Amino acid sequence: MRGRNRILIIWITLLIGLCLQIIPWSPSYSMFKPHLLILIFAYWLIALPHRIGIGTAFIFGVVIDLCSGSILGIHAFIYSCIAYLLVFKFQLIRNLALWQQSFIIFGISVCYNLLVFLFQVSIYHTITISPLILLSSCIDGLLWVVIYLFLRLIRRSFAIN
């Protein structure tokens, strides 16, 4: 498989993650919704930081802003910050055990939720957070193992490097 087709596989997984991220959930179950796009980005940023970077995270953040109807740039800023943190320490994260990486992904998810909350408070002057929002972060941490193993299988089967 040629180089262009290998990069296309990465973009396809990101687009699938984007589609799954913008699917609306009922308000009673929205606290359980995982951040699949962040999980897929985290994998590619840790595995291949030279292929997917902060600019790509920014672009997908703008698309999330457009699809969710939030103020343009909020998710772009948050995704860029998360991408920076992951790219900055990708060697350390890559060398950790999978269960340790799950805790880091849990922390990244908590940071995402807190940054969204801070933007909502500062822009809309409304408080829409509950302790149940940590359930989403816990689900992200647990789902990381599945996403990691699945995307690693894809990366190895298509020889993406």
Q: What tokens were used for 61?
A: 């953040």
Is 105:144 a contact under the CB 8 Å cutoff?
yes
Residue 14 in this model has a pLDDT that exceeds 60: yes
Q: Which band of pLDDT confidence, cut at 50, 70 and 90, is reported for residue 154?
A: very high
Res 2: pLDDT? 65
Cα angle at 28 between 24 and 33, to 5 degrees?
Answer: 50
Longest Cα–Cα distance in the chain: 51
As a whole number of angstroms, the distance between CA 122 and CA 126 comes to: 8
Distances (CA, A) of 72 to 17, 63, 76, 94: 20, 9, 8, 32
Q: Which residues 6+ apart lie within 8 Å of 137 measured at CB?
A: 106, 109, 110, 113
pTM (2 d.p.): 0.92
Element (H, E) at 133: helix 133-157
Tens digits of residue pLDDT in 87-108:
998 889 999 999 999 999 999 9
pLDDT at 21: 92
Q: Residue 133 is encoded by which pair of tokens? A: 């929002």
Q: Where are the domains of the chain?
A: 3-22+30-157
Query: Half-sphere exposure (CA, 13 Å, Cβ side) for 155?
Result: 16
pLDDT tens digits along 35-53: 999 999 999 999 999 888 9
We find that the CATH architecture of domain 3-22+30-157 is: Orthogonal Bundle (1.10)
